[in-house]
Structure 1
Amino acid sequence: MAIEIAGGRMLLAGEWIEKSDQIDVYNPENNEIIGSVPAGKAEDAEYAITLAKEGKELAENLSVRERMDILNKAASYIQDNLEDFARTIALEGSKTINEARSETMRAAETIRISAEEARRLTGESINFDQMAGNKDRMGYYFRFPVGIIAAITPFNDPLNLIAHKIGPGIAAGNAVIIKPATETPLSALKMAEAFMNAGLPHKILSVITGRARDIGDILIESKDVNMISFTGGMQTGEKIANKAGLKRLSMELGSNSPAIVLKDADLHEAAESTTSGAFAAAGQNCLSVQRIYVEEDVYDTFKDLFLKEVKKVKVGNKLSESTDMGPLINEKEAERIEKWVNEAVASGASILSGGTRKGAYYEPTVLENVPDDATVVKEEIFGPVVLLFKVKNLDDAIQCSNDVNYGLQAGIFTANVNAALKASKKLHVGGVMINDSSDFRIDAMPFGGVKGSGIGREGVEYAIKEMSEERIVAFKILDE
């Protein structure tokens, strides 16, 4: 069943552009072609940048009210076409229809929050007379847009992650160029459709489809692009940082998220929460629970409860209302995960559940006795695999949790407020979720990590600040 998204066109500076060279978009569940998009080239990226130089002036000159109205209209368009958006997300990616509906609603909310935060992008007065000799000075600062933002997004949240680039970017008065993942470009084009219907002036927004090797470096290295906002893998992020030069960087680079379960925790709640946190979106989520550290006194009890919850996860057709987990984004990714699990087993790990692959599907998998140096321990697996570890106490759990080059979010389950506070101070991450898994986020909170998990913070208010600059205005009061 093909989906018609703007007739196989892409958006360049507000204009829908056709190209004869097309890239097919596949449903990873059955490898069926569901649509096609233009294979953008270097000249398309250069053209988008050229017009974005005019677009950034248009964007900066939009009043706050105009920005708010456009953002709110775009959000309403998404809500009014929720099923269309959700079906697009589900067909081109890994999410079930229910997960896709949730993402669509979140994307609309992200855009609405952006409208609200546009009115709050203010400055403040500065007391220049705090320094001796400056009694005759007064002033303030205000924020102004950075200019042109190039945003590169992954496949796993193909609509809401686009919303987290476009919404704050426009709220702050910038021009935005989006390069969506090659696997999931249709959702990005649907978002562009929402903004065109909302009356966003031409030249402010581009969504360039195509392969990263053809257009990525043009966007990254251009001196006319003032900021790169990237969500993706750590290795790619490092390459972008090396190529970008002197421009702003905001990067969310994934994680290897831990959850800690202490002996005083509600073990049933911990088992349910970590199961959801590990296997939502087939584990293809930067916040997915990958490692669970359980105090030895309750390890066996928790393991039994956890495995019972894992057995309930229904894998199947993405469009079925009863399906909990769909396929990986492609068979190659499923094969990689299979390889990592097999390597861990060969090194002494035990499979407690799952461990089998069928095409792009990989069963919800639980491992224990995994060696500390196994790839599945050290790297981000980005799939439906979770590891169980027995620890002596909280200190042991914290030390193990920190022993990777990632630090996005972590969860801890405990009834002890002192333990929760200690974990919140000692875990080397950007966010600690108390009595919740690492896989918790609202779109208004600051979101980002430390170490290999990235640079800067998303979350609408915080992204707007990343996408704007402070300018000081100082008056010297002259005697008449």
Structure 2
Amino acid sequence: MDVRTFWLAGRPATGASELTVTNPHTGKVVGAYSVPTDAQVEEAVAAAAAVAKEAAALPIHVRAEALAHVSRRLAERAEEIAQLITAENGKPLTWARGEVGRAVSTFRFAAEETRRYSGTAMRLDTEPAAAGRLAYVTRVPYGPVLAITPFNFPLNLVAHKVAPAIAVGAPVIVKPAPATPLSSLLLGEILAETALPAGMFSVLPVENERASALVEDPRLPVVSFTGSGPVGYAIMDSVPRKHVVLELGGNAAAVVLADADLDWAASRVALFSNYQAGQSCIAVQRVIVEEAVAEAFTAKLLDAVGTLVTGDPYDDKTQVGPLVSEAAAERVQEWIDEAVAGGAKVLAGGTREGATAAPTVLAEVPHDAKVWCEEVFGPVLAVQVVPSADAAFAAVNDSKYGLQAGIFTRSLDLAFRANRELEVGGLVIGDVPSYRADQMPYGGVKESGVGREGVGSAMEDLTYAKTMVLTGLAL
């Protein structure tokens, strides 16, 4: 078996040890990769620090063309990369192909944003004391970025950290999830084809326990992390003087109000409570239904869940594949069993085979059960019936998380009211909360994180404003 190299300051490298990657569906080894030594990690960090000034001064056309090249090459190799994502992550090919397509767009958006990334001028002579003065405001990268990425989108969530960093001229070190490093290593291969200077990027597949040294290294002033809340906040607490960006997930709610199109709502909730095997920060975990339509909606929901195809992720017809590991599926099953022991009723699913958890629908779930109040990160949906829109909005907000929500309604008044009242970072009207456009601001409030992804928003997050005032001008 070929052993994939990692990327050290823009060049391929091998370490002293190797690790393997297994497919969650088959349990078979699908790849191996070399692991950097401590000395090689130090070399990568030193190179990022050394190139930081050169990176910040790179002409816009160099950054933009590098990003455009990555977008083109991802498109050219799309099927190969989708197969790789399915191999290491287990997600069905239909979702893997969608992820590659989104990564193509993410790098294209970044190339476009880079070409628009210029300073702004501001006349200051609005007051007599500032006559002849003009402010020129630019944005400057804080410095090298440590990007810690999760397993559930092993290409596109890496893209959402790498592309904005390159766009603003910041070196980036990627620390991918140990379960799914192969996609990011392939991305490193494509980045190495560009004219970016040595040291501009590294992809270091180190074990999680070695990440703390990178987090604490003062030469990496920015830490961008996507993953679980406890880990994210532990990172923030450990480096209070660093600029930390966190995307931490949630327990996304879809609200079905009495005026909703029930067929559409049921089909969308069924699919997007189970897509990626529920391993998405914005997969539908809670569906809150107005009492007047609860019986009809629940029947349609169960019919829709029953039509989902679960099985081999390499089959084009498969919609629901395995979780990332059998251990993850075991945890999901434990949470279901805990809810049932507390009084919840299983309307569908509730079983597990290996790493695959059956699409599960629960009713009458206690609100202190983990499947309701925590992030289940599995194909589990809890149904709550409420008497009114008031109660529905209160139920959405009754969570420590606040990433995104979806509202099924035809009422423009209710849509704008939801936008005013719901404590979330994003709201989707007429659909599930599981929608994300890669150019839009994306992130949450409360314990769902700090900062925003989305190419333009992330570029803002990785930089600070710098103001130069010109004087003595005849404006």
2:84 to 73, 83, 88: 88
Partner of 1:33: 29
Aligned with residue 419 of structure 1, among 414, 418, 423: 414
Give 1:133-282 correspondences, 5 Å limit.
Answer: 133-214=129-210, 216-282=211-277
Residue type matched to 2:182 in 1?
L
Q: In the alignment, is the contact (CA less than 8 A) between 1:23 and 1:210 conserved in 2?
A: no
What's 1:341 paired with?
Answer: 336
SS in 1 for 2:410: coil
Tell me, what secondary structure is at the counterpart of 2:129?
coil
Counterpart Cα distance in 2 of 1:252 and 1:8? 29
**Equivalent position of 2:51 in the other structure:** 55
Cα distance in 1 between the residues matched to 2:193 and 2:94: 26
Please tell me the residue identity of whatever aligns with 2:349: G
Native 8 Å contact 2:14 2:35 kept in 1: no
Q: Give the distance between the partners of 1:164 and 1:42, measured in 2 at CA.
A: 27
* Number of the residue aligned with 1:44: 40
How much has 1:43 moved relative to structure 2? 3.2
Deviation at 1:119, TM superposition (A): 1.4
1:31 and 1:22 map into 2 onto residues whose CA distance is 18
Deviation of the 1:405 alpha carbon: 0.7
Deviation readout 1:388-424 (Å, 9 max, x if unpaired): 0100011101111111110000000011111111111
Q: Distance in 1 between matches of 2:126 and 2:90?
A: 57
Q: CA RMSD of the aligned region, Å?
A: 1.3
Q: Deviation of residue 133 (structure 1)?
A: 2.2
Alignment deviations for residues 113-133 of structure 1 (CA, whole Å, 9 cap, x no partner): 000000122222223333452
Deviation at 1:42, TM superposition (A): 3.6
Match of 2:278 among 278, 283, 296: 283
SS of equivalent to 1:197: coil
Aligned residue identity for 1:475: L
217-226 or 427-436, which deviates more: 217-226
Distance in structure 1 (CA, Å) of the matches to 2:77 and 2:415: 42
Q: Secondary structure at the match of 1:129?
A: coil
Instruction: Name the structure 1 match of 2:103.
Output: 107
TM-score (norm 2): 0.97
* 2:10 counterpart (9, 14, 31): 14
Name which of 382, 391, 406 aligns with 1:387: 382
Give the whole-Å Cα distance in 1 for the aligned partners of 2:100 and 2:133.
50
What is the alpha-carbon distance in structure 2 between the residues aligned to residue 248 and residue 95 of structure 1?
33
Aligned 8 A contact 1:40 1:211 in 2:
no
- CA drift at 1:73: 0.9
Name the CA distance, whole Å, in 1 between partners of 2:370 and 2:428.
25
The gaps in structure 2 that reach 5 residues or longer are: none
2:384 is paired with a residue whose SS is: strand
Gaps of 5+ in 1: none
**1:170 aligned partner, one-letter code:** I
2:47 is paired with a residue of what secondary structure?
Answer: helix
Maintained 8 Å contact 2:145/2:220: yes
Q: Partner of 1:312 in structure 2?
A: 307
Q: Percent identity?
A: 39
Secondary structure of 1:133's counterpart equals helix
**TM-score normalised by structure 1 residue count:** 0.96
